[in-house]
Structure 1
């Protein structure tokens, strides 16, 4: 049985929630729900919080502002490196445009993904949020009184609501809509790596501190100087028929590095960065993917948040920030609307236009990276124009969500 939310009175009658997924959106939505007076337990499929080396990501000023709503911004800033500047160039080294950030906003922070997970988890635990590990969701049943999640270990949990923060391969998404779209491949395999901090790289590649570089051309590469002096880079290898993640992992790093060096031969500075990268410093991230438009964000007592419903691909630089925004906005809607059905509808109406516009923009960039579209030229839009709507977006927690 799936009720429509009308059985619940004022939003304050929602007391408990199950959050599925302990990545970025999960801890933040649990913190925001707690602020709204709703107790949430985060159920994570893996046996422990994420640790170890992972791909790097950026957290933009809008994401930091949303984190401040739940008091997690300081913890995340302590885990990251500020990179306020952006330089865009072509594959010959010719600079197209430069942006040094908006002076009234904080700098974008970069950090390994697992470090962000850890910072958010530790902060949430310190605030009283409960985490349950080894809980892989396999099903859920609704009644007029609540929703019960079933986990692979045979256990169950029941609450008023179930929130799917379980990533781009969301199980909750398929429970809400078995016909929901799958992630969309962006045309490239993603790689990252570290170029050694030595005299050779200093002579070969000039990198100003606190600046991220994007070099378009026959192939794309982004890079910046990390806190330890090494150059951190990310790049794409266009592949029409992508291997699975398991197949990617089986290929030796040296073989991937050879293929990347062949692709970036003559690219400035890709050729030089790869020359200074050892196989053991290469990260094979896998297929660059995004979520196309998801028809159903919620059904009954279940709702989606973060990458489970609007992963925009790493080309946007907004994946984590959008997930955090949506987590806060969902909690605000549940706080203010009289039924959870109305709260879910208000949440979708507030978030869908923004996240889909950003996702479509990232898809266009993916085509450039995959060699399916011309690289940006001298008419590259001014960075202030590109970043203003992204970075200045704010969620006013004190404002009541309108009908």
Structure 2
């Protein structure tokens, strides 16, 4: 039996409540400490892939997340001229991916966690830690503290826990792309409701899909080599961005029609898209990283949320089965690092293709997605030390 009985989970988001649920399933009492004073709202849409959905089933959250989103099993890829070079209806034997707003995913996970006994404390910004032979104490900006056997950093791409584990740890890196999204109404574009479309235009990349209210949701990735310009783009008025996007997609099908029928007030500008480079140290002493704090691939992977969910379960399995934090954290990193780094490398290649107008050769869906989406966390298998 593991000597770990309690855990502090730093950060809400996606990884936080899933980690707490998985730890609870492993017999470890976990509390989530979220820096912000309340629930998040707004934000871009994201996809939970089949591997993420199957991992959510382990902690009983699959149905809640499916209810918050919409299944889109298919995918089509083409160029800005409307030519298709890949189209498929999902991988055989797998559930469909679900698309949903990040805020809706967060709410579904938080509600499920609270309903299953997980305590979530808001307004708890981590400022420091103190470790001892028996446990770890977190200090928060409001002057309070909390102590447990281990501390899990689920605090995202700008993780405080990561810098406490390793003051020399790298921070996020800019991908060379700016992310912008919006909605089109009355464009005459009628996507298949079961397909998400990706168009590699000559000057920018466009993804789009049908929504139940009749609108078409879309996002554009705009190449921008200068990071300072990319992050300053958040301050550009939406009307200016809309005009620029209309110019960038003027020769694209159906990008031109979608942008011409979009409103500036519906735009959300994410700014420069970031990833995490290789993080040398995932753990130290009684502290460990999970989710984006350790591995944040480009959104081009479609796997950020799903990998975080997988890692939460694998960490809980290791703490359940191995004698003490050191052995558990080492096994966890050995299980996860090869997979997440391979997916991050593939996403980096996709980013290059977005800037270059599309992939250089034919696309094999099984080869491209099979390794990623067919992965399963076997909760019942014992982790070997």
TM-score scaled by length of structure 1: 0.93
Q: Classify the secondary structure of the residue corresponding to 1:310.
A: coil
CA distance in 1, matches of 2:76, 2:375: 22
1:189/1:242 contact within 8 Å kept? no
Q: Which residue of 1 aligns with 2:368?
A: 386
| Corresponding residue number in structure 1 for 2:139 | 150
Q: CA deviation digits over 1:101-134, x for unaligned, max 9?
A: 1232111000000100000000000000000000
Find 1:165's aligned residue among 139, 154, 170.
Answer: 154
Partner of 2:383 in structure 1?
Answer: 401
- Equivalents in 2 of 1:267, 1:71: separation in Å? 43
Question: Which of 198, 220, 229 is matched with 2:214 structurally?
Answer: 229
Matched, 1:266 2:256: no
Contact 2:21-2:113 within 8 A present in 1 as well: yes
Q: The residue matched to 2:208 in structure 1 has which SS? A: strand
Partner of 2:19: 29
- Measured in 1, the distance between the counterparts of 2:231 and 2:138 equals 29
4+ residue stretches of structure 1 with deviation over 6 A?
none
Structure 1: gaps spanning 5 or more residues: 1-9
| CA shift digits 1:169-198 (9 cap, x unpaired) | 1000000011111111110110011011x2
Is residue 347 from structure 1 mapped to residue 336 from structure 2 by the alignment?
no
In the alignment, the residues of structure 1 paired with residue 318 and residue 12 of structure 2 have an alpha-carbon distance, to the nearest angstrom, of: 21
CA distance in 2, matches of 1:243, 1:192: 20
How much has 1:396 moved relative to structure 2?
0.6
In the other structure, the counterpart of 2:5 is 15
Task: State the match for 1:40 in structure 2.
Answer: 30
How many Å separate the matches in 2 of 1:225 and 1:243?
A: 33
Of 98, 115, 128, the residue aligned with 1:109 is 98
Q: TM-score, normalised by structure 2?
A: 0.97
- Please tell me whether the aligned partners of residues 231 and 272 of structure 2 are also in contact (alpha carbons under 8 angstroms): no
Q: Which residue in the other structure is 1:215 paired with?
A: 199
Q: Are the equivalent residues in 2 in contact too, given 1:315–1:366 (CA < 8 A)?
A: yes
Change (3 A) 1:132 1:250: same
Structure 2 contact 15–312 (Cα < 8 Å) conserved: yes
Deviations 1:342-369 (A, max 9, x none): 1001100000000000001111111222
On the 8 A contact 2:178/2:271 being kept in 1, the answer is yes
Q: Which residue is equivalent to 2:277?
A: 292
Distance 2:113 2:352 in 1: 38
- Please give the secondary structure, in 1, of the residue aligned with 2:227: coil
Structure 2 distance, partners of 1:359, 1:339, is 30
Give the whole-Å Cα distance in 1 for the aligned partners of 2:230 and 2:221: 15
1:55 partnered with 2:38 = no
> What is the CA-CA distance between 1:387 and the residue it aligns to?
1.1
Instruction: Choose the corresponding residue for 1:366, options 335, 351, 374.
Output: 351
Mapping of residues 242-257 of structure 1, within 5 Å: 242-243=227-228, 247-257=232-242
Q: How does 1:301-380 map to 2 (within 5 A)?
A: 301-369=286-354, 371=355, 373=356, 375-377=358-360, 379-380=361-362
What displacement does 1:73 show?
Answer: 0.2
Paired residues, number: 384
State the shift of 1:245 in Å. Answer: 8.4
Distance of 1:155 and 1:241 partners within structure 2: 41
2-structure distance, mates of 1:43, 1:243: 32
Distance 1:245 1:20 in 2: 29
Matched, 1:240 2:230: no
**Which of 92, 108, 114 is matched with 1:125 structurally?**
114
Whole-angstrom distance in 2 between the partners of 1:381 and 1:299: 41
Q: Which residue of 2 aligns with 1:67?
A: 56
Report the Cα offset of residue 248 of structure 1.
3.3
RMSD: 1.3
Alpha-carbon distance in 2 for matches of 1:41, 1:49 = 16
Matched, 1:190 2:179: yes
User: What is residue 265 of structure 2 aligned with on the other side?
Assistant: 280
Q: What SS class does the counterpart of residue 397 from structure 1 fall into?
A: coil
